[in-house]
Amino acid sequence: MGKEEEIKARVFQGALNYVRETHPAAIDTAYNYFWDDQQPDEFMGGVALELGFINFEDWLIFDYKANEEKESFLSIYVNRNPCPGDGDAEVVDKIKGSVLSLYEVDSVLLDKKVQLRDLLRGGEFPLRDKPLTRGLKKGDIFATRLLKLDGHYVMSGCVYPYASEQKDQVLRYVDKQFIRFKRNVDPEGTMEGYLKDYGDVFNLIWMKYIMDPASNAA
């Protein structure tokens, strides 16, 4: 793990501990919103349930609007606890604006380097995080948060996996919600802005498929 990844991990854990200690009611509110008032342990278990909690904590710190000013808990934490280490502020600036997006695996090379394509915002990204890319194959799709740290792209740790045959359904569902966002919230809105405000859309789709694998999310 590089220096910037270590800083990110430390700042993220600090923010998470801060929220647990000072905003327990907000966690409950965010939890109910994220899971659409469902209880995840009633429809998933094992690795999926563990991943669901990782995904929730990632979204809670990076994306959840914690106050009337629509600040994230990450922003609130670093404003109240200035990062003391060398390079901390630069890393925080890098990760504060990150968003969840939907990616497709374009290729997997022999050294396990994975080439990802962003299906919603465009662009291709090499991913060398071997523990997180193990088992990926061309055509796989998943939502995640990519961060550029130490000169290369890494995943923040969260992932929402979908079957490759669900690709068009997922894209249609997100596009429909984006159109609704532009109609009801921000007529000039961009996909980037939508994903920053409503990244939980990927969890809602993931939930639908887990609860009913034959469902059409769109």
Please tell me whether residue 50 adopts helix, strand or coil conformation.
helix
- What's the pLDDT at 2? 86
Calpha distance 87→95 (Å, rounded)? 13
Handedness of CA 126, 132, 137, 142 (dihedral sign): negative
Asked whether the beta carbons of 106 and 124 are under 8 A apart, the reply is yes
pLDDT band at 149 (very low <50, low <70, confident <90, very high): very high
Quick one: tokens of 51?
Answer: 């991943």
pLDDT digits (tens, 9 = 90+) for 169-201: 999 999 999 999 999 999 999 999 999 999 999
State yes or no: pLDDT of 165 exceeds 90.
Answer: yes
pLDDT of residue 218: 60
Q: What is the DSSP letter of 136?
A: -
Rounded Cα distance between 132 and 10, Å, is 19
3-state secondary structure of 190: coil
Distance (Å, rounded) from C-alpha 33 to C-alpha 12? Answer: 21
139 exposed, middle or buried (CB, 10 Å; 0-12, 13-18, 19+)?
exposed
Average pLDDT over all residues of the chain: 91
When pLDDT is averaged across residues 161-170 and rounded to a whole number, the result is 94
152 sits in the region (left: phi over 0; alpha: psi -120 to 50; else beta) called: beta
CA distance 6 to 124: 25
Q: What is the pTM of this model?
A: 0.92
Q: How does residue 135 score in pLDDT terms, banded at 50, 70 and 90?
A: confident
Position 46 scores a pLDDT of 94
How confident is the model over 50-108, as pLDDT tens digits?
A: 999 999 999 999 999 999 899 999 999 998 877 666 678 889 988 998 999 999 999 88
- Domain parsing of the chain, residue ranges: 3-96, 100-162, 165-211
Query: In angstroms, rounded to a whole number, what is the distance separating the alpha carbons of residues 116 and 141?
Result: 9
100-162 is classed CATH 1.10.3470: no
Instruction: Report the alpha-carbon distance of residue 102 to residue 174 in Å, rounded.
Output: 10
Q: Which two tokens stand for residue 192?
A: 């980037």
The letter for the amino acid at 88 is D
